[in-house]
Amino acid sequence: MISTTRHLADGREIVYFDDAPVSRDAVDPRDLPPVATRSQVRWDPLLGEWVVIAAHRQTRTFLPPTDQCPLCPSTPERATEVPEAHYQVAVFENRFPSLSTEVDRDVPTHAEGNPLVALRPGEGRCEVIVFTADHDRSFADLGAQRARLVVDAWAQRTEVLSALPGVEQVFLFENHGEEIGVTLGHPHGQVYAYPFLAPRVQRVLAQARAYDGDLFADVLAAERTGPRVVAANEHWTAFVPGAARWPYELQLFPHRRVPDVAALTDAERDAFVELYLDVLGRFAHRFEAPMNYISSWNQAPVHEGREDWWLHLQLFSFTRAPGKLKYLAGSESGMGAFVSDTSPEGVAEELRQVVLP
């Protein structure tokens, strides 16, 4: 993998990832104002969680037509977020970031009228990772070579962002499908560098520490021999979790404990690509139309708890049946208590039976 760093017209960084040497010297000709944000993180004293307040994102780009896509390569007629006319994988700082290293740090210590709601600047970093220059492809049909380049880009960005001051967790994810909330149709994912530990990581880490034994190892060992395995290879297993919350949900675990994507060996990265493209294909062909999904890497915290963590990926869909979505209604949204519309064992069998093209 070869990475080349350049800058956009407003000073934001863009990094190109290629599998062979190539010149990356295109200049962004746009007249853009510097990115400025007054994002904050606010402490919820009842739940003990940080909430990001980023009101400026209301004006971000929303489902533009294909000929106005900001992630397609630039042309002489139209400059985009990617100045090059051709590229393989590109990563750049989000123009509408929830968290930023350039955030306004002049914030009060607490929310007006309530000293229990502590305030901090929304310092961190949000990046967009574009998987391909082809607007009409998806991750499922990238092919092994391009998907492996994306994995290497994930690893590099994890290492780089983990080294930023104040970053506590690096989150890699992809939202796929308008029902999920995608605002740009071009195949892409995102990278968030949080200045705190996300609630899920906090809860999983607490469970692992309270468990009498090795929680991650025991969960993986049990699922690898159980009825919910969908696919596996030498280095990875994909299974429906026994207490799945979403209608279609998988967890992909490496067979070796590692804290993050950057710690995976070449063989483990290749094996992940093989398994991931397999299960994405099952999601795409379970029904007549491909399912929406969220792909969510659960990486170790940057500082505390790394020795207790086991890297894994969650892949889940809101689709519960053709034309029907799982909505987070009263129990889920109000109380955080999930009620599943599907059986984990039944879903595993359905996904195993999908015939891949």
Q: Which two tokens stand for residue 143?
A: 């092919």
> Considering 86, 110, 186, 188, which one is annotated as catalytic?
188
Rounded (5°) CA angle 154-158-161: 130
Would you give the DSSP letter of residue 169?
Answer: E
- Which contacts of 144-147 are long-range, i.e. CB under 8 A and separated by 24 or more positions? 144/270, 144/273, 144/274, 144/277, 145/19, 146/88, 146/89, 147/273, 147/276, 147/277
d(CA 285, CA 255): 27
Given a contact cutoff of 8 angstroms between Cβ atoms, the answer to whether 259 and 248 are in contact is: no
- Whether 188 is a known active-site residue: answer yes
Question: Distance of alpha carbon 51 from its chain centroid, rounded?
Answer: 18
| Length of the chain (residues) | 357
Q: How many CB atoms lie within 10 A of CB 341?
A: 10
d(CA 351, CA 279): 8
Tell how many helices (H) and how many strands (E) occur in the chain.
5, 17
Tell whether the torsion through CA atoms of 35, 38, 43 and 44 is positive or negative: negative
Beta bridge partners of 52: 41
Query: How far apart are the C-alpha atoms of 87 and 15, rounded to whole Å?
Result: 11
DSSP-assigned beta bridge partners for residue 248: 317
Question: Cβ contacts of residue 164 below 8 Å, gap of 6+?
Answer: 101, 124, 125, 193
Q: 3-class SS at 110?
A: strand
Q: Which two tokens stand for residue 17?
A: 């990832």
The residues annotated as belonging to the active site are: 188
